[in-house]
Structure 1
Amino acid sequence: MYFCKRVRELFVIVLVIESSLCDVNEPRCYSRFDYDKKMMEKLVRTEIKMEELLGKLEVMEKRHNSVETKVDNSVKEIHDLGKRHNSVETELDYSKAAVETFENMTKSDIGGLEKSIEMTDQRLDALFTNNTESKLQSPVAFFARLSTSFTSSAGQTLVFDSVTTDVGGGYNPGTGVFTAPADGLYVFSITVMVYMTTSATSAQFILKKNNNTVMWLYASETDSVYETASGTGILSLEVGDTVHVTNRESGRYIYSEYTFFSV
């Protein structure tokens, strides 16, 4: 708008100057008619110039309006770009926070996986070591039974003197005591057949480790019949540990054919 105002002012100044020039440089005339004619021609030329100037002024105004519109659109686009920029910065901040959170979680997960892998490696090493050691160790096993039947005494150790299998040399058929020749887990099985009477209706037997009770076996019957007490126990033994079976009560008739001890 300021530009249009200046153009109009310039146009008025041009008209004033031109009018002044017309007064100064009036054409030389020889009659009133000739003067009027020449002044008329001059006015016509002036009007034509004014129309040309007005046309140019209109074109300039249109260009100016177009430029103003373009400037307004550019300002609006810049404003929109500023909003988008702020939105992108906000999204970028959120993305950075999400990436940082993910990195922390990933580091934590990786740390946990590394610890789990380390523990797994240790377990595998232990299993490999135990497997290697077990392969290097000689097997231990025995199976023995009573050769003859007998009547028990209280606290008596049952001596399974008829040995069928003895691998590793841990069982002593003279004392009925097994001595562990190597560290490890041992599975013991005991079966004792007892003849029950009306005066001896029950019988109890004890599996002992280093003279400490670890398992009880029990048989009970009121009629005159044979009853069997049996059981299986798993013991963790170290080299030199001893295991044997004892009878609790006295006066129990133990039948040999179905009484055995094994590991």
Structure 2
Amino acid sequence: MFAHIVLLVTVCAFVSSSEPECSRFHYEEKTLEKMIKTEIYVDKIKSETENMQQKMSDKLDGIQKAWKKTERELKDAIEDNKKAVQEIKEEIDVSTTQIPVVAFQSYFLKEITVENGQTLIFTKTVYDKGLGYNNGTGVYTTPVSGAYLFSVQLCIQVDKFVYVEIVHEDVTIMKVRLVDEGKTYHSCSTVTGVAVLNKGERVWVKSRLSSTGENIWRSPNSVWNSFSGVLINKSD
């Protein structure tokens, strides 16, 4: 009987001593601990994910705002470019319409013997837009203020010469020596000059020095001795 009692006590003590490791309460405690750790980890992952999503959303908002700003700036630049092109076009249109057609050309020199200091008179007018040339006096009167281009062509007799000037109000625009030294052909030469003139100023061609006798070759069917001019820009 005593042996049975000792055995029973021993078994109970063994069961009692191993209960903390094997009992249902210990398992539930460990499980709860794991669940709590898992929940904390999940909350951490969730928080980090939310932070990352927020950062990505902020970056996306920034990109969208930057694109909208760039789009507005691009539209503004396109509009500014259109306005600039339109302004340039309007300036060109205005400048074009402000320049009137002013030009003349006359030929057939009245005298074939040009003397020193003589005004050269070209008697046949081809056109005169602006009505400035007088083919009776050889003088051109500017109808508007601006920059003018004048041109004179003379054909010189063989072995003769003429010094001529384009002048306005006795001020020289251009001077040149025309000569034929070939002793075979009557050579023709052209001289041009540019001047900025006021309305009403006079321009003509003058001989400064020349050889004696007939020194101009006149053959209207073959060549022209001529005087012409054109307004190239109107003054304000």
TM-score calculated relative to the size of structure 2: 0.63
Structure 1 runs, 4 residues or longer, greater than 6 Å off: 50-53
| Pair 1:196–1:120, CA change in 2 (3 A) | same
Aligned to 2:28: 60
Counterpart-to-counterpart distance in 1, 2:111 and 2:180: 23
Point out the structure with the larger helix share. Answer: 1
Query: What SS does the aligned partner of 2:209 have?
Result: coil
Residue matched to 2:154: 192
Shift of 1:67: 1.4
Question: 5 Å matches for 1:198-209?
Answer: 202-209=161-168
- Alignment correspondent of 2:89: 124
Is the CA contact 1:144–1:165 (under 8 Å) kept in the aligned structure 2? no
Equivalent position amino acid for 2:45 in 1:
E
Q: 2:173 is aligned with what amino acid? A: V
Q: Alignment partner of 1:254: what SS?
A: coil
Alignment of 1:82-161 (within 5 A): 84=52, 88=56, 92=59, 95=62, 99=66, 103=69, 107=73, 110=76, 114=80, 117-133=82-98, 140-153=103-116, 155-161=117-123
What amino acid does structure 1 have at the position aligned with 2:228? S
Which structure is higher in RCO with an 8 Å CA cutoff and minimum separation 6?
2
Q: Is the 8 A contact 2:110 2:122 kept in 1?
A: yes
One-letter amino acid of the counterpart of residue 165, structure 2 = I
Aligned residues: 216
Among candidates 217, 228, 232, match of residue 262 of structure 1? 228
Higher alpha-carbon Rg: 1
Secondary structure of 2:121 counterpart: coil
Query: Which stretch of structure 1 is more off in the superposition, 245-254 or 168-177?
Result: 245-254
Alignment map for 1:246-261 (pairs within 5 Å): 246-251=206-211, 253-257=215-219, 258-261=224-227
Gaps spanning 5+ residues in structure 2: where?
230-236
2:227 aligned partner, one-letter code: F
Query: Are positions 1:245 and 2:205 aligned together?
Result: yes
Cross-structure match for 1:77: 45
Q: Deviations over 1:193-222 (max 9, x none)?
A: 12253xx5x543222344333334443444
Q: C-alpha offsets along residues 135-189 of structure 1, whole Å, 9 cap, x if unaligned?
A: xx57643323213311321x43212134344443211123211112234565533
1:54 and 1:160 mapped to 2: Cα distance? 137
Q: For 1:94 and 1:206, locate their aligned partners in 2 and report how far apart those are by CA, in whole Å.
A: 78
In 1, Cα distance between equivalents of 2:131 and 2:145: 14
For the residues of structure 2 that align with 1:87 and 1:168, how far apart are their CA atoms? 77
CA contact (8 A) 1:218 1:229 kept: no
Residue 225 of structure 2: SS of its match in structure 1?
strand
Letter aligned with residue 164 of structure 2: F
Q: 2:170 aligns with which of 187, 208, 211?
A: 211
Q: CA deviation at 1:75?
A: 5.6
Distance 1:191 1:149 in 2: 14
- Could you tell me which runs of 5 or more consecutive residues in structure 1 were left unpaired when the two chains were aligned: 1-31
1:262 is displaced (CA, Å) by 2.4
Percent of pairs identical after alignment? 19
- 1:224 match: 183
Among 145, 154, 173, the alignment partner of 2:135 is 173
